[in-house]
Amino acid sequence: MRGGAGMSPHRPGKWTLLGVIFGLGVVLDQVTKFLAVERLTVAFQRVGAHSLPERLHAFLTLRYLEPVATQPYYVFRPFWRMLYAENPNAAFGFMAFLPGGLRYRLFLVISALAVVFVIYYYRRLRAGQRFLQVALAFLLAGTVGNLVDRLIRHYVIDFIDWYWWNRPDIRWPTFNLADSMLVVGIAMLLVHPSPRSAGAPADSRSAGNKRGAPGV
């Protein structure tokens, strides 16, 4: 077979895969946040933004829109609704105790370090390590998606709200698509077996075969 078993001439390279997942992830994250402002607030109506360019300009320039948020939209009333929220903190209110200016600068440093770490680790991956490539691509897209919000607004737009069965007072912290990509990426890294543990059974079998060889 030309190219060897398991090789495909049409299989994208790891950097192409990163570019596609990262690009789509960041674009979808920002599009869903635009839709959250459009559908879950009356901000565009207040400033008379009717055309798409006007709405995009308003999306990038308007700030602190929670006072003009509409009522939540219920996707499935028992546990899922959409509502507009602005989060200046990290997930679960992390670092909320810090002053706003210090917290903002710290988030920028942490995000930059995360991006550097992902790129550095990604460069070390082999072409066949698709699972890890996808995991790191999700991490990069999620990190940059929220970083764009912080650079533009100093807070992150959240809109997905999950809660216990008909109990909005018992709820998961409101999140967005970038948060989801971060969680998926981290979960994939956690469940992925390390090369050592994945190769242990094969090594054991090889050792056993070697020990049994003289007796054959």
Q: What distance in Å separates the CA atoms of residue 40 and residue 159, rounded to the nearest whole number?
A: 9
Instruction: For the chain, count helices (H), then strands (E).
Output: 7, 4
CB atoms inside a 10 Å sphere around CB 157:
25
Separation of alpha carbons 134 and 20, rounded Å: 10
Angle 88-92-98 (CA atoms, 0-180°, nearest 5)?
A: 50
Q: Based on the number of CB atoms within 10 Å of its own CB, is 115 exposed (0-12), middle (13-18) or buried (19 or more)?
A: middle
Residues labelled as active-site residues: 158, 179
Structure tokens at 118: 């992902």
Q: Determine contact, residues 134/122, Cβ cutoff 8 Å.
A: no
